[in-house]
Amino acid sequence: MSRTVVLAWILSARLLLGWGVEGHRLAVRIAGGMLSPAARLEIGRTLGPGESLAALASWADDVRTYRKETDPWHYVDIPLDSTGFDRKRDCPRGECIVAKIAEFRSQWRNPALSDSKRREALLFLIHLVGDLHQPLHCANNHDKGGNDVHVVFFHRPTNPHAIWDYGILDHMPPEDQLFTAMRAMITSQREAQWSRGTVEDWANESFHVAGSVAYAGLPQVSGSQPMRLGEAYQLAAEPAVREQIAKAGVRLAMILNEGTR
Ligand code: ADE
Ligand code: ZN
Ligand code: ZN
């Protein structure tokens, strides 16, 4: 393969995945700092020595390419013109992110399951709670959650889905600085507020961010030119990205702490 082909392949492999590695790692790092001693111990025992939750945050995206049946577990296509998640319409066979989070949540809590089953449940859980908070993983406008729309973002050809997976984050401060800022957003009042609700509620919240920010900022297509997005789109999106990732961290910690002290 020529270098150009290899490069094109590497870049295209980033399409369709969840938050980029950084977004998932941030959510998991936030959760990691909020674990109960018992949850921390159990996670450490399950992962084994030298393994960290943050380093495994995108394991589920890595296996997605060769475990094809897991692909739909990363999102739910809630029609943009609907009022929100409808299980019969959006998740009829239980193969969507909402159903899978529930399934892996109960597997992680089930001591009767084998260590390897529970380890895999944990790895899917830490990743999928992040994906649920990527607005375009909970919305669809006949475009695979923005994947099929050609746009130009800061002079580069891309699509809205990729912009939300990693494009906005790539134009934000470095990871450690974001981590500190997100931790500071999590006041005890917000923590209590964000910990409420069901996985369905969180999907609906993400869906509403998709409608009010991600899709709302896309001007109507004019002619055959891809729309050009930049500073204005970035600035409108940043607060939503910060809040969604912080919420993912808080809610993941809550799920992992369940039944522990
Ligand atoms: N494929 C189809 N819909 C999708 C979505 N909302 N997010 C990611 N991949 C998808
Ligand atoms: Zn994605
Ligand atoms: Zn994913």
Structural domain span for residue 81: 3-218+230-257
Beta strands in 194-249 (DSSP E): 227-229
Residue 250 placed within a domain = yes
pLDDT at 156 over 60: yes
Residue 68 placed within a domain = yes
Q: In the chain, how many domains are there? A: 1
For ligand 1, atom 4: residue with the closest CA: 144
Using CB distances shorter than 6 Å, the residues near ligand 1 are 16, 75, 77, 136-137, 140, 144-145, 147
The residue whose CB lies within 8 Å of the most ligand 1 atoms, and thus the one to mutate among 140, 143, 164, 165, is 140
Can you give the pLDDT at residue 18?
A: 74
Residue 225 placed within a domain = no
Residue 91 placed within a domain = yes
- The pLDDT > 90 percentage for the chain reads 88
| Domain of residue 247, CATH code | 1.10.575.10
Query: What are the backbone angles phi and psi of residue 74, rounded to the nearest 5°?
Result: -85, -5
Instruction: State pLDDT tens for residues 189-209.
Output: 999 999 999 999 999 999 999
pTM: 0.93
Residue 241 placed within a domain = yes
For ligand 1, atom 1: residue with the closest CA: 144
Residue 224 placed within a domain = no
Q: Name the H helices within 33-152.
A: 37-47, 59-64, 87-90, 97-108, 115-132
Residue 131 placed within a domain = yes
Contact 209, 236 (CB under 8 A): no
Q: Which ligand is nearest to the CA of 203?
A: 1
